[in-house]
Amino acid sequence: MLILKEEGRSEFKKPFGKLYSSIIDLKDNLENYKQQENNLIISIGDVTTINLQKAGIKTDMGIIDNRIERKEYEFKDKLVNYKVQFKAENPPGTITKNLWNTIKKGFHLIETSHNNILIVVNGEEDLAVIPCVIMAPHNSIILYGQPGKGVVFCEVDQVKSKAEKLLEKFEET
């Protein structure tokens, strides 16, 4: 398990890509992006994932924890675009091997079966952006919420080396 060191926490408050005020503001970019071949769209966070679905944007992988700003919220019947659902354990402030392996399994299934995957995290999904950036196929994008500010549009090819460097902010247990 990787645990985020206290001194590294401030690095994760900065957007990991371009910040948009809403899904509507980035919808045109997403539609153009999705028309290109073999590009995956990954959403992280309950609000982002549900808002993308409401906007008619189908993601290849969604990662949620049934919480909005640390308060429980059940999305079970509202997220209908996913053919396969996985569960993962991931306490706050960590990246567990279970989460890492579940994301890896999800990418493999998307590649081999083209199914859309929903990963429901027991704990917290906030740091899932790191393994997603590192493992996502070339030309993928990740969308995640920046609380109180909007949605971050993250092109994995542009931030992969930054994500690998951010792993230094964790200690392994």
Q: What is the pLDDT of residues 126-160, one digit of tens each?
A: 999 999 999 999 999 999 998 889 999 999 999 99
- pLDDT value at position 82? 86
**What is the CB neighbour count within 10 angstroms for residue 75?**
19
User: Total domain count for the chain?
Assistant: 1
- pLDDT value at position 131? 97
Averaged pLDDT of the chain: 88
pTM for the full predicted model: 0.91
Task: Tell whether the model's pLDDT for residue 68 goes beyond 80.
Answer: no
Please give the Cα distance from 65 to 126 (Å, whole number).
Answer: 9
Task: Identify the H or E element spanning 120.
Answer: strand 117-123
- pLDDT value at position 111? 92
Q: Which domain holds residue 80?
A: 2-30+39-172
Q: What's the token pair of residue 101?
A: 């392996």
